[in-house]
Amino acid sequence: MGFFLETLLGGLMTGMLYALVALGFVLIFKASGVFNFAQGAMVLFAALAMARFSEWIPGWLGLDNKILANLLAFVIAGALMFVVAWLVEFLVLRHLVNQEGATLLMATLGITYFLEGMGQTLFGSDIYSIDIGMPKDPMFLLEGMFEGGILVNKEDVIAALIAAALVAALSVFFQKTKTGRALRAVADDHQAAQSIGIPLSRIWVIVWTVAGVVALVAGMIWGSKLGVQFSLTTIALRALPVVILGGLTSVPGAIIGGLIIGVGEKLSEVYLGPFVGGGIEIWFAYVLALVFLLFRPQGLFGEKIIDRV
């Protein structure tokens, strides 16, 4: 039982990180109807900025305080993601209002390759580390209930708590604030939203900035765990099944989908992997997403589209 709970907790913590990346897809799709293929590139770009600024700032300002240097690096990287959001809106999105979904998707593909190339041009292409002070040593829980206790990595716990707090804040933002309601209105109909005075350009800058901050937090956490490298862009591919499972328009769906995928991957690898030679964790999420596409393509919490003719 103790080993099962250990595996379950590991899956839940991984699932929260998947949900954090999936939120970037959901936020932009809810506000603009655009499937943002550039979310993985945004994670890489933000993580590169965070890693490099945290290295450069102590030399620039003569700081010995690592916490302050990391905080300044986070603020500067966040400001940089705002600039990226503004440029995306100014140079791309405002020229593609009411265009076909395929056109918008291709635009985000262009943004993907631009961010990947620009990130490596500005910050380099080596493997960088992000040290934000999260403890990496393990700890044992419930030692009185189970022999040996349950082994949990402190870094995973802190990362999951950060992801959960950000997910909760974004849920409140979308459901309870005037700006959040405006974002949903823009997603429903661009022209109708403009006709009632909602500034489309400002809304898009806001949502891409929020998605950029989400990418920054996700890149910071994954970069701390795995190092900042080009493979971080594949994190977005790991989040695609989460979006399919939860629904492209649902913030709660991204959370539930992430938890289901995270737990499913860990449990299937541990309990089914030995019978099939392992490797289930790699493809489990995609098979589950395929099943949902066949029987419930809108996802668990997505809006069902009904075309009347």
Report the pLDDT averaged over residues 74-81. Answer: 92
pLDDT at 35 over 90: no
CB-CB contact of 242 with 257 (8 Å):
yes
Identify the top-confidence range among 2-11, 36-45, 74-83, 278-287.
74-83
pLDDT given for residue 2 in this prediction: 66
Report the pLDDT averaged over residues 286-299. Answer: 86
pLDDT at 305 over 60: no
pLDDT at 117 over 70: yes
pLDDT band of residue 133 (cuts 50, 70, 90) is confident
CB-CB contact of 170 with 214 (8 Å):
yes
Identify the top-confidence range among 70-84, 95-109, 131-145, 196-210.
70-84
Residue 99 to residue 80: CA distance in whole angstroms: 28
Question: Which has the closest alpha carbon to 300: 237, 258, 272, 238?
Answer: 258
pLDDT band of residue 120 (cuts 50, 70, 90) is confident
- Both tokens of 97, joined, read 């209002």
**Residue 56 domain flag:** yes
Between 161 and 33, residue with greater pLDDT? 161
227 in the Ramachandran plot: left (φ > 0), alpha (ψ -120 to 50) or beta? left
Between 113 and 95, residue with greater pLDDT? 113
The helix/strand/coil state of 137 is: coil
Report the pLDDT averaged over residues 287-309. Answer: 75
Find the largest Cα–Cα distance for the chain: 68
pLDDT-wise least confident of 44-58, 182-196, 232-246, 262-276: 182-196
pLDDT at 307 over 60: no
pLDDT given for residue 75 in this prediction: 92
pLDDT at 309 over 70: no
Residues 166-193: pLDDT tens digits? Answer: 888 887 887 788 777 777 666 666 666 6
Between 198 and 45, residue with greater pLDDT? 45
pLDDT at 32 over 80: no
**Residue 93 domain flag:** yes
CB-CB contact of 18 with 261 (8 Å):
yes
**Residue 249 domain flag:** no
pLDDT given for residue 266 in this prediction: 87
Give every CB contact of residue 275 below 8 A, 6+ residues apart in sequence: none
pTM of the model as a whole: 0.84
Residue 30 to residue 21: CA distance in whole angstroms: 15
**Residue 303 domain flag:** no
pLDDT given for residue 146 in this prediction: 63
Q: Please state the domain count of the chain.
A: 1
pLDDT given for residue 53 in this prediction: 92
pLDDT given for residue 152 in this prediction: 78
Mean pLDDT across the chain, nearest whole number? 81
**Residue 276 domain flag:** no
Residue 150 to residue 171: CA distance in whole angstroms: 31
**Residue 255 domain flag:** no
Report the pLDDT averaged over residues 28-48. Answer: 83
pLDDT given for residue 191 in this prediction: 66
Percent of the chain with pLDDT over 70: 88
Percent of the chain with pLDDT over 90: 5
DSSP 240-252: HHHHHHH-TT-HH
**Residue 278 domain flag:** no
Report the pLDDT averaged over residues 74-100. Answer: 84
Q: Which domain holds residue 214?
A: 2-229
